[in-house]
Amino acid sequence: MSELAVALFAASTGSHLLEEPRSLRFARFRASLDEPGFLRDLEHRGLRWVARGASGYPARLRSIHDPPPGLFVRGDAPLDLLGRTAVAVVGARACSGYGSAVAFELGRELARAGVLVVSGLARGVDAAAHRGALEGGETVAVLGCGVDRDYPRAHATLAAAIATRGLIVSEYPPGVEPSPWRFPARNRVVAGLCDATVVVEARERSGALITADLALDEGREVLAVPGEITSNLSRGTNALLRLGATPVTSVDDVLAAVGATRAAPVERAALEPRLAAVRAAVADAPAAADEVVRRTGLAPGAAAAALAELELLGVVVHADGLYREVVPSS
Amino acid sequence: MLARTVTHALVGLEPRRVEVEAHIQQGKLSAFAIVGLADRACQEAKARVRSSVLAAELVWPSPCRITINLAPASLRKEGSGFDLPIALAVLAASAQLPEGALEGHAAFGELGLDGRLRPVPGALVAAEGARRAGLAHLVCAAESAPEVALAGVDPVGVRHLGEAVAYLRGEHEPPEPAPPADDFEALAGVPDLADVRGQERARRALEIAAAGVHNLLLAGPPGTGKTMLARRLPGLLPLLDDEASLEVSRIHSVAAVLPPGAGLVRVPPFRAPHHSTSVAGLIGGGGASVRPGEASLAHRGVLFLDELPEFQRPALEALRQPLEDGVVSVSRVATRAVFPARFQLIGAMNLCPCGGRGDSAASCACSPERVQRYRERLSRALLDRFDLVLAVPRPRGHELAGPEAERSGEVRERVLAARVRLRERPATRTASADALLTRAVERLPLSGRGRARVARVASSVAALAGADHVEPEHVAEALSYRPPVELAA
């Protein structure tokens, strides 16, 4: 069977196909398809194609019940990246500052520990996880459209960064536009590529929960980050916890779930007292810069400088006027 | 009989000499014509002038053919400022004024049907025209007299046409205009920074913006004091020097926003146009006559745009020229005007369309796409103009109840000292400060332009600290005012 023909036929007809259909239409499509030409053209654009039968196709993905016929790949990293221990970090697009800080931190620490971080390049949690992972190592983005499509557009720079350090993959050929029905299908690839799926923040009917369900169907580990019980953004994750998902209280829980060990902590003790004091001011709860000024007694300018330095060190993050610590002090 | 008076028409901000010639010819029929590209308001002068002359108990020559010529004929004349010179020319031509009485005089003003003289916008510019033409006196409405005095021309401020005639006949001496208020009083009307409780970070950013003339964008939920902060910026800036002051006063005179009796504009102006303002309203324009817009009214001062993303996109894009060059050029069919518009831009916006984002007391119901669309209304090119971008969170209750904060006067002292420092001995970056900047470019999403912005702000921070060199802590502080990823990406 020709997986490439199946993938291209599925994209051109807008259908979800895993095997060669026995139709006249497909036979005609296949006859008219110039496979070597298409592959040359693909290579010319710096893209790759991995068929389900090929050796580079990730084994974990092949073992799900509906593996895609193949993957289009953009990026310079070798394909065996996809064979590494992998964790999906997914969640709400409209996440809170807490959600993006946690996703960022999980992404970074997992990547530092040598774990591949997989997500969907969406806004919110996905993007934060990718960004964090890029700081610590490699990451893979799975798209619900062509790999040349940079969707959402606002993440074009992020996509370019991922392509240089990691991979962007999709079961859809280049040029395919994003459409809503393709996202759940994309989620099965995210879950399928990974040993475990972490849901960071999710509303009651979130796409991230679909990813979690798919992971459960395949017998993969599902973890959820606890949130405030009063927040809509925690409904989905807390419901998962209630059903028995492993709670994530630190990155160690995730590492334990996939059998990896934490990388040696990086120069944690090196903070000078001035920075340590400012860090302590945001340790308990996220705080605005003014709150930091009051707690530390520093001048507003000095506090701002210290916060920027901590941000550069990756100890705190800043969103919508609030600073929060991303690395617990221990 | 022929007589002549001199007045000045406004072309943009420039006075153009206009000679008003009156010719009276005895005849059987009465006629009164104004020629020389006069617009409607100018044509209507006929009725006002005639009634005024009669109301002043003077003689309207009749039956006579009266022709008024406004020279040069090629220049479009508009408005009602020609009433007084026309009336005086008619009176001189009918020998009701002593010969040579109009020598050395210009005239400018609108007449009422009862002969009363009304002020017309642009008196300051008309007076400057008189000075340049070598005319020592300007006959004008009493209300315009202080403005005229500013231009160094002797104002003859009168309330009535009769009074003007009495003066020209040497029977009446108009009173001296009241001296303008001094600087101290001028500053008294500017709100004080001490009213802003809490918001230490925003106050600090305002101080840096004042010191380095940086544009500042405040983003935060409604009710966090963004407008309050912006209004206090003029009080932190140095007063305008003589040249700037005259320049600003001229613009305000033409736009008729110069408060009567206040003298020259000394405090940097503050303009806060509503977000429904049109392109013409913002940068200047109008119909045939070209009027300065808000950008020019804010010249040498502060232009505050609240609800920045709600402004029409073309209006915001039109601001890019003045932000770049400090001037606006507006072309219309008949005229082309260049207005100075070197202002400091303060923008304010919510973090999302509903305003709930960043507010601990409210929740935001906006979808990510909606937030994105809202923020995308600001073009990258415009965002690039803001050196400082600040998320202003809602202050806590106890902050608002806190003690009174530092007064504007103290902050202003520091700003003035920093300005001197920036002008005379601009600090250079130390090697370690450079290293930090480079690390930031590698570590953060910071473009080349962003780097330049941070470097500029760091210089201002160093100047405020009175440092000889830009140290890493100054760069670090400047980094904390860079636009957040959400706005930059």
Q: What is the pLDDT of residues B22-61, one digit of tens each?
A: 999 988 788 899 998 888 877 888 999 999 999 999 999 9
Average of per-residue pLDDT values in chain B: 86
pLDDT digits (tens, 9 = 90+) for B262-294: 677 888 999 999 999 988 889 888 766 678 899
Residues B407 and B470 in one domain: no
Position B147 scores a pLDDT of: 83
Same domain? B393 vs B485: no
Mutate to test the interface with A, among B399, B480, B481, B487 (most CBs of A within 10 A): B480
pLDDT digits (tens, 9 = 90+) for B81-130: 899 999 999 999 999 999 888 899 999 999 999 999 998 888 889 999 99
Alpha-carbon dihedral angle through residues A313, A317, A323, A326, given to the nearest 10 degrees:
-80
- Is B92 a domain residue? yes
Which residue, B7, B75, B10, is CA-closest to B36?
B75
3-state secondary structure of B340: strand
Share of chain A above pLDDT 70, in %: 96
The answer on pLDDT for A264 being more than 80 is: no
Q: Are residues B405 and B429 in the same domain?
A: no
Asked if the structure places residue B385 within a domain, the reply is yes
For the entire predicted model, the pTM comes to 0.76
Same domain, B469 and B405: no
Q: What is the CATH number of the domain that holds B9?
A: 3.30.230.10
Q: Are strands A139-142 and A246-247 parallel, antiparallel or unpaired?
A: unpaired
Inside any domain, residue B73: yes
Question: The tokens of B251 are what?
Answer: 């613009």
Separation in Å, CA of A183 to nearest CA in chain B: 16
Query: In terms of residue numbers, what domain contains B460?
Result: 425-489
Q: Among A230-234, B69-73, B179-183, where is mean pLDDT lowest?
A: B179-183
Residue B393 touches partner A, C-beta closer than 8 Å: yes
- B250 and chain A: CB distance < 8 Å anywhere? no
B420, part of any domain? no
Q: What integer pLDDT is reported at residue B73 of this predicted model?
A: 87
Q: Give A98-123 pLDDT, tens digit per residue.
A: 888 899 989 999 999 999 999 999 98
Q: Does B227 share its domain with B352?
A: yes
Burial class (CB in 10 A: 0-12, 13-18, 19+), A91: buried
- pLDDT score, position A330: 43
The total domain count for chain B is 3
Which residues does A contribute to its contact with B (CB < 8 Å)? 93-94, 123-124, 152, 154-155, 157-158, 288-291, 293-294, 300-309, 311-312, 318-322
Confidence of residue A319 (pLDDT cuts 50, 70, 90): confident
Q: Which of A138, A142, A161, A163 is nearest to A151 (CA)?
A: A142
Q: Does one domain contain both B86 and B143?
A: yes
Q: What local confidence, expressed as pLDDT, does residue B206 receive? A: 94
Q: Which of A282-296, B321-335, B406-420 has the highest mean pLDDT?
A: B406-420
Out of A311-315, B34-38, B185-189, least confident range: B185-189
Cβ <8 Å between B481 and A304: yes
pLDDT attached to residue B378 = 82
- Point out the domain boundary residue: B106, B141, B168: B168
Size of interface A-B (CB pairs under 8 A): 93
Domain boundary among B354, B386, B412: B412
Lowest pLDDT segment from A61-75, A249-263, B355-369: B355-369
B203 interfacial to chain A (CB closer than 8 Å): yes
Residue B18 counted as domain residue: yes
Q: Judge: A320–B395 Cβ closer than 8 Å, yes or no.
A: no
Q: Å from B393 to nearest chain A CA?
A: 6
Q: Find where tokens 């020097």 sit.
A: B241
Amino acid at the residue B393: P
Same domain for B156 and B14: yes
Both B461 and B318 in one domain: the answer is: no
The CA distance from B164 to B99, in Å, is 15
Task: Tell me which residue in B368, B396, B479 faces A123 most closely, judged by beta carbons.
Answer: B368
- The answer to whether residues B303 and B282 touch, using CB atoms and an 8 Å cutoff, is no
Of B113, B133, B168, which closes a domain?
B168
Same domain, B240 and B361: yes
Same domain, B202 and B118: no
Average pLDDT over residues B186-197: 81
B432, B398: one domain: no
Pair (B53, B155) in one structural domain:
yes
Determine the longest span between alpha carbons in chain B, in angstroms.
Answer: 93
| CATH number of the domain bearing residue B200 | 3.40.50.300
Distances (CA, A) of A280 to A158, A208, A293: 31, 33, 12
- Contact yes or no for B200 and A289 at CB 8 A: yes
- Asked if the model's pLDDT at residue A320 lies above 80, the reply is no
In this prediction, residue B298 has a pLDDT band, given cuts at 50, 70 and 90, of very high
**B199 CA: distance to closest CA in chain A (Å):** 6
Q: Please check whether residue B173 lies inside any domain of the structure.
A: no
Instruction: Decide: B121 and B253 in contact? Cβ < 8 Å.
Output: yes
Does a structural domain hold residue B372? Answer: yes
- In degrees and rounded to multiples of 5, residue B202 shows phi and psi of -65, -40
Residue B302 falls inside a structural domain: yes
Lowest mean pLDDT among A289-298, B23-32, B207-216, B442-451: B442-451
Centroid of chain to Cα A292: 32
